[in-house]
A and B are shown apart, each in its own frame.
Chain A
């Protein structure tokens, strides 16, 4: 059995997950999203990775970016290395794809904000 805190919403329910042969048994969750998260955390924990890349001709030197969807937790380090190699040039639109198919995950890295050219 594993104790965990649900982080899907700010309520932060304290849950317990247990494996009963093929089935996962979750208790302590207040809603179904919590249950799905608990099972996913056992099977394939993943996170959205927010970071920045260098941008030239913008109003700031860094452009915030994020993975458009969660990526497997064990890939976070490699993802950071990959993203840090990138440099972009303003203008950038919010949501613009900065890296396609990051590390073959099928997940893109996108811009979190627009950056006008100055």
Chain B
């Protein structure tokens, strides 16, 4: 018979999201907690992000990824939390039953009082973007290259072209340059970079690596190994412009073309997914559409700063603890239902719904704009009446916007909170 074990709280994923959520739940009084991680160690993606730039908000210091992870791993090691490494969650059901597997212990079933999803995200691959040409060696995602170089110690190539100017692509351009490779160009299909400004400055400008906006790869040359790629300019509709083809002799093409929240388990449990974020729809407490299952970090929406992952994950940890420790005699706060709506210029808004009376007075809305604005205002309205307007000197899709709603702004009884960008003429 299959072994069944019980926990008050199970956290899936041992990256910064899972670590912060587990520690916070313990501090809130949960006595039996398990963190399940498929990798050989805790820390998630941070262990391969050896560059500095983490923790400016959380610790007021500029830490490397491993250093940031280490602070939370040490917190976890203070006790009260079981860590299952090399263990993969295979199934998650809406009644909070999990099936996990490890080489050491085989298949185990776990029943949990509450579950926190913290599985992070994965990279989009070549299949997801359909580049024509042959399929030689030397084409890989930027994150895979990052792991090869920083953890395993392989060289990935000598002459490199990078497609996509998200943060991972930018970070890898610098890393490869410092390791002695020649990065010929970073091509970005959009007319703006999806990465943080600081990364454009520190990773490209510092090393005079050209950033080719409105350019994409239209051909890959080489049979066994990449011998070159063709970059081509694109028009406003992102279609390649004939006659602008330029061939680059290179042995490696790195793809940094986006991240997708890892939500197979969420779908299996019947959790509603937001088509814009591609993560679970959550309320202000990070609870998904399935009661008792919470989510935080990159599995919910892709973050550029780990500090906000930590903040969001603590919120999920506290809320899950409340759920687990709830006394029958204490009534839940009255329920309301406010939907947040991404209007003109806004890609998505998080949380997607607000469900507790009073919560609209202290919620932080997180959102991304769809394009670059130099000087614009973000307008917030409740049931179509404007309640807040805030000017921004610079807005870009690569930089998440956070807006705190303060007490009394949202009239009681409101059904929707809409956000839009108002461009200055």
Contacts and interface: CB of A to CB of B under 8 A. Distances in A.
Interface in A46-75: 47-52, 54, 59-62, 64, 66, 73
B64 A66 contact: yes
B37 to A, nearest CB: 14
Contact of B151 (A4, A60, A73): A60
A117 B109 CA distance: 32
B290 interface: no
Contacts of B41: 59
B206 interface: yes
B196 A66 contact: no
Given A52-B50, A113-B47, A64 B202 contact: no
A60 B152 contact: yes
Interface string A1-34: 0001101011011100000000000000000000
Interface string B287-325: 000000000000000001100000000000000000000
B198 A7 contact: yes
B64 A14 contact: no
Contacts of A60: 151-153
A76 interface: yes
B394 interface: yes
- Greatest chain B CB density within 10 A among A5, A50, A59, A66 is at A50
A51 B51 CA distance: 7
A1 B52 CA distance: 29
B8 interface: no
Given A12-B198, A12-B394, A52-B50, A64 B152 contact: no
Interface in A72-117: 73, 76, 80, 94, 112-114
B150 interface: yes
Interface residues of B, number: 33
A7 B393 contact: no
Contacts of A80: 178-179
Given A59-B40, A80-B178, A10 B153 contact: no
B201 A5 contact: yes
A23 B200 CA distance: 28
Contact of A10 (B50, B51, B56, B65): B56
B196 A12 contact: yes
A9 B67 CA distance: 18
A52 B150 CA distance: 7
Nearest to B200: A5
Contacts of B149: 52
A62 B206 contact: no
Contacts of B40: 59
A10 B399 contact: yes
B268 interface: no
B393 A64 contact: no
A20 B207 CA distance: 29
Interface of B: 40-41, 47, 50-52, 56, 62, 64-67, 69-70, 149-153, 178-179, 196-198, 200-202, 206, 304-305, 393-394, 399
Given A10-B196, A80-B179, 4 more contacts: A9-B56, A47-B202, A66-B52, A112-B67
